[in-house]
Amino acid sequence: MSDTQTGLREWLLTDTPHSRLQARLSALYHGWLSFRSNSLAMFGLSILVFLLLMAAFAPLIAPHDPFTQDLGNRLKPLGTESHLLGTDSLGRDILSRLIYGSRITLYIVTLVALIAPLAGLLVGTIAGYAGGWIDVALMRITDIFLAFPRLVLALAFVAALGAGIENAVLAISLTAWPPYARIARAETLTIRNSDFISAVRLQGAGPVRIITKHIWPLCISSLIVRVTLDMAGIILAAAGLGFLGLGAQPPSPEWGAMISEGRRFILDHWWVATVPGLAIFTVSLAFNLLGDGLRDVLDPKDSK
């Protein structure tokens, strides 16, 4: 390790930071060291990094066009020359469709991860800070959404909005925000009576500034952990909608739709449905492992 790297490490590991920037970078570095010591979390992170690279460079690494049909090569088994993971019922290369399907999965996950936590954070912090009838009204609406199974409610929304990726994202987001609202409300109820909030209020800060500048930053870590752990459920919900034909529409290589197509051949040509199913399982497992690692790092109530 060079002298520059050694000096930077000592600067980040210092117990007496000399600036706010150094304190923040030091906290991030300590968190990274703690996260890196969790081998399962690093394994999950590695899978997700591989997924991101695969989606980003799909046109370069996909061996075939995922939409090109070749009925002469339909239902080729695993290990076939030029078709490593075989072909589907229309002769399309499964590996290429799997690679391009990762883009759809990441697209859905990213949009839901941006919409649902923000909506839940907004509802939860307003309910927790305002209290009274506002709290009661918002929490009863949240309870109504929580009373229905997520996939059933998503099916109802998609049936009303129409099939398609964007509508599937909206439907999943509408069913995913209530847990985040509950977490944000619980955090807000704990924070709003703190001494530093009273001091900020005495300085003339209004409710909007208190919520956005002082309460939201303290809720973020809990929401990040919950979002990461919820990604598996979001992927399964998106795959379920695709399986039922309510998500991405043909010929899009969405993993749930690929399983739906392959279920007709599950006995004789098992790989058509099994390969995308294994992809969903692997990515869901990676998000769960990553979420466990982030919880260990970010949970301030963790005793370790």
The model's pLDDT over 134-187, given as tens digits with 9 standing for 90+, comes to 999 999 999 998 888 888 888 888 888 888 888 889 989 988 999 999 999 998
Measured in whole angstroms, the distance separating CA 3 from the mean position of its chain's CA atoms is: 39
Nearest to 38 by CA among 227, 304, 282: 304
| CATH match for 35-65+79-190+220-298 among 1.25.40, 1.10.1740, 1.10.3720, 1.20.120 | 1.10.3720
Residue 85 to residues 60, 268, 275, Cα–Cα distance (Å) = 18, 15, 8
Can you give the residue ranges of every domain in the chain? Answer: 35-65+79-190+220-298
The model's pLDDT over 225-267, given as tens digits with 9 standing for 90+, comes to 888 888 888 898 888 888 888 888 888 888 998 998 888 888 8
- The CA R_g of the chain, rounded to the nearest whole Å, is 23
Length of the chain in terms of residues written: 304
- Res. 15: pLDDT tops 80: no
> How much of the chain exceeds pLDDT 90, in percent?
30
What are phi and psi for residue 267, nearest 5 degrees? -80, -45
Name the pLDDT band for 3 (thresholds 50, 70, 90): low
Q: Is the pTM of this model over 0.75?
A: yes
